Amino acid sequence: MSSHTVAPDNHMNKKPFRNSISISFTLSRLALKPKDTASLKQDTMYTCILLIIACVVRMVECYPSGQVTASCGGMAPQHSGVTTQTSPSPYSVTASQSTYKAGDTITVTLQGSSTTFTGFLLQAREVGGSSPVGSFSVSTGQAQLLTCSGLSNSAVSHTSAASKTQIQAFWKAPSSGTLKDIEFRATFVKTYSTFWVQVKSSAVTYSGAQSSGNTPVSTSTSTPSNPSTGGISSTGCGDSKVCFSQPTNCDPATAPNCYFMSALTSSTDASTKFEIAGPSDGYVAIGFSDDQRMGNDDIYICGLDSNGNIQVQHAYSTGRYAPEILPPGNISVTENSFQNGIIRCSFTSGNAITTQRSAVSSPTYYIMYAYGPSSNGDILEHIGTFISDSKVDLSSPLSVNTKVPHIVRAHGALMLIAWMTTGSLGMLIARYLKAVTRGVGCCGKDLWFVVHVFLMVITVIATGIAFILIFSHARDWSGGAHPVLGCIVMILALVQPIAAAFRCGPDHTWRFIFNWAHTLNAVAIKCLAVAAIFTGLSYIDNTPDMWIQKVMGGFVAWEALLFALQDLQFRCNQKDVRETNPNSMNVEVTLLIVFLLGNLAFLVAILAGIGTS
């Protein structure tokens, strides 16, 4: 976790403009030289400039740094000419718990109920006291740490003038010393002339010495009462808790390949019990987001630490990089296990969910689930992820579904059409059907050649459009082998027509080199395209028995069989004289029609599966 120092904000900290300008001095100069017209004009100009500066000084006397250490004492912005608001504050300061012990970590939330704020200053103080207590940490670039009264990290302030609806910080109590009841105080700045000073939270009562329950959850482990299921199941999904799983509605207690999470909100306090389970050799994680993209997401990670034990970590995602690990805050772990390649975690969290992206605070979020490898306790890039098809209120029990975005479906449909139908048909015609159209021309070329070129042009165009669609959606190269295979297919598909355009004549000595290279490249594209389709289907096939991938496997076997039959017929024809065996043409045409109808049947089945995913 790190705090970011960015460009300053002009609402809290300003360097006062010292009105040391002596206008009387300038006027005295005018009195001393009444007959010097040039000097009079020059001094008059200086006077006007100084008067203008004095009038607009309030507009330029602030710096957007958020480094408001001069405001630490009274916590009031040093905005000259204006005073604090006396009306009730539209902003609130809340703590995640009402009592604390030495060394405890408390989550503090600053929030606007109906309006945004641009600047803020947050401190923890003893009730009735005037000096900061404890230290803070932050997880977002919208907040930074300050040193007040010589105590490092004892205050939090803004980093920019951007509008904010919610800020979350983590306060750690001192581990020793004389501790008393505390309260959190914050100053909120709406505009230069509108601000509220020392808005207070409810008192947080000091209840004693170091809490035994404050052991960092990142190192806690426990033994489940039932190792085979880990106590985590789909029981209560939709009735008492929110559930999200892949495949849809799977039960982690009985299905070893079930990626599962549930959330059960307490009716007595603001805590939520989370359950996470899934097969992985590194980690499984859930996140809460304002949209269906990574970035500004509240995350809980359940994964292996450097000692091979299961740890629960609270984190915050700032984008497509490793998330920032946060202090655990108010988390209580009830179960951790890693058996038979399946990670399971169950824990209760009193931390508020913060995404800090929505313009208006909302209790609903998209749920994200990700899994992948780890190294010495550090999570690596996920190898699989799925996202809820709509926003979810964790306090309203339901079973959440995933939905493949339309742009991803379009990408998949185009790739399937290109490499299950048009590409395969074009390759088969070029390889085995030349003799069928012998003597038949079109546009000055042999008919087989025209059809072959037409089908392969459609294939390359469909592949290119699919390539553009998916990268405009994903905007990066992450996703394992699938994007790599797709890029190679796209490159080789473009090479094929470019090389054909510059091929030598049919009777040229080196023509055989082109023929072999053209054929081998086509075979490589076909194999890589099939591999890319399989890896792509693995991301979107959420059917209980993965039947979409099984249908794709059937298609591969079907196509191999038909190509083998065409090759057998082709070799038989080479032994015969074409004119004395006219029935062979009918066999080739029949095989072509059967090939096309079979491919279309498999294509429609897979497209239907994608459409209902």
Domain boundaries, the chain: 23-60, 69-211, 215-400, 406-611
* Host H or E run for residue 335: strand 331-339
Identify which has the larger pLDDT, 212 or 398: 398
Q: Can you spell out the DSSP letters for 410-446? A: HHHHHHHHIIIIIHHHHHHHHHH-TGGGTT-EETTEE
Asked if the domains 69-211 and 215-400 are classified in one and the same CATH topology, the answer is yes
What does the pLDDT average to over 556-562?
90
User: Rounded mean pLDDT of 333-337?
Assistant: 83
Task: Specify the DSSP element, H or E, that contains 291.
Answer: none
pLDDT digits (tens, 9 = 90+) for 491-520: 999 998 898 888 888 888 888 888 889 889
Q: Which amino acid is at 85?
A: Q
Q: Which residues pair with 49 in a beta bridge?
A: none
- For the chain, the distance separating the N- and C-terminal CA atoms, rounded to the nearest angstrom, is 37
The whole-number pLDDT of residue 377 equals 81
Q: Rounded distance, CA 542 to CA 559, Å?
A: 25
Other C-beta atoms lying within 10 Å of the C-beta of residue 424: 23
CA dihedral (586, 588, 594, 600) positive or negative? negative
Angle at CA of residue 60, ends 55 and 64, nearest 5°: 155
Residue 32: pLDDT band with limits 50, 70, 90: very low
Whole-number Å distance between alpha carbons of 483 and 176: 54
Q: Which two tokens stand for residue 315?
A: 């984190």
Q: What's the pLDDT score for residue 299?
A: 92
Pairing of β 399-400 and β 242-246: parallel
DSSP 282: S
SS3 241: strand
Q: Which CATH class is domain 406-611?
A: mainly alpha
CA 16 – CA 60 distance, rounded (Å): 10
Nearest residue to 157 (alpha-carbon basis) of 9, 290, 261, 19:
9
Q: Three-class SS of residue 194?
A: strand
**Within a 10 A sphere around the Cβ of 16, how many other Cβ atoms?**
11
- Interval 34-81: pLDDT, tens: 445 555 556 556 555 555 544 444 433 444 556 788 889 889 888 877
Q: What is the pLDDT of residue 305?
A: 85
| Nearest residue to 315 via CA among 302, 300, 296, 336 | 300
Domain made up of 215-400: CATH architecture = Sandwich (2.60)
The model's pLDDT over 232-243, given as tens digits with 9 standing for 90+, comes to 888 888 888 999
Checking if the pLDDT of 228 tops 60, the result is no
pLDDT at 268: 79
For the segment 141-155, what is each residue's pLDDT rounded down to a tens digit? 788 889 898 888 899
pLDDT of 302 over the 90 cut? yes
Rounded-to-integer distance, Cα 584 and Cα 438, Å: 14
Distance of CA 37 to the CA centre of its chain: 70
Q: Looking at residue 24, what is its pLDDT?
A: 41
- Side chain identity, residue 77: P
Within the chain, what is the greatest distance between any pair of CA atoms? 126
| Residue 328 pLDDT exceeds 60 | yes
Q: What distance in Å separates the CA atoms of residue 284 and residue 261, rounded to the nearest whole number?
A: 10
Domain 69-211 class in CATH: mainly beta
Q: Higher model confidence: residue 210 or residue 377?
A: 377
| pTM for the structure as a whole | 0.45
**Cα separation, 167 vs 535, whole angstroms:** 40
Q: Give the bridge partners for 158, in sequence order.
A: 143
Higher-pLDDT residue of 569, 18: 569
Question: Residue 283 pLDDT more than 90?
Answer: yes
Cα(196)–Cα(88) distance, rounded to whole angstroms?
9
Whether 296 has a pLDDT exceeding 90, the answer reads no
Q: Identify each DSSP E strand in 350-428 by its residue range.
A: 364-372, 374-375, 378-379, 384-387, 392-393, 399-400
Q: What is the pLDDT of residue 135?
A: 93
Comparing C-alpha atoms, which of 487, 481, 530, 293 is closest to residue 405? Answer: 293
Give the type of residue at 356. Answer: Q
The residues, any chain, with a CB within 8 Å of residue 488's CB and separated by 6 or more, are: 528
CB 278 within 8 A of CB 291: no
Grade residue 439 by pLDDT with cuts at 50, 70 and 90.
low
For every residue of 437-456, which 3-state class applies, written as one string?
A: HCCCEECCEEHHHHHHHHHH
Residue 186 reports pLDDT greater than 90: yes
Task: Report CA-CA distances (Å) from 59 to 23, 53, 193, 223.
Answer: 21, 10, 12, 63
For 314-318, which contacts have Cβ atoms below 8 Å and span 24 or more sequence positions? 314/217, 314/349, 314/351, 315/285, 316/1, 316/139, 316/140, 316/354, 317/287, 318/140, 318/141
The mean pLDDT value for 210-223 works out to: 40
pLDDT level of residue 198 (50, 70, 90 thresholds): very high
Is residue 117 classed as helix, strand or coil in its secondary structure? Answer: strand
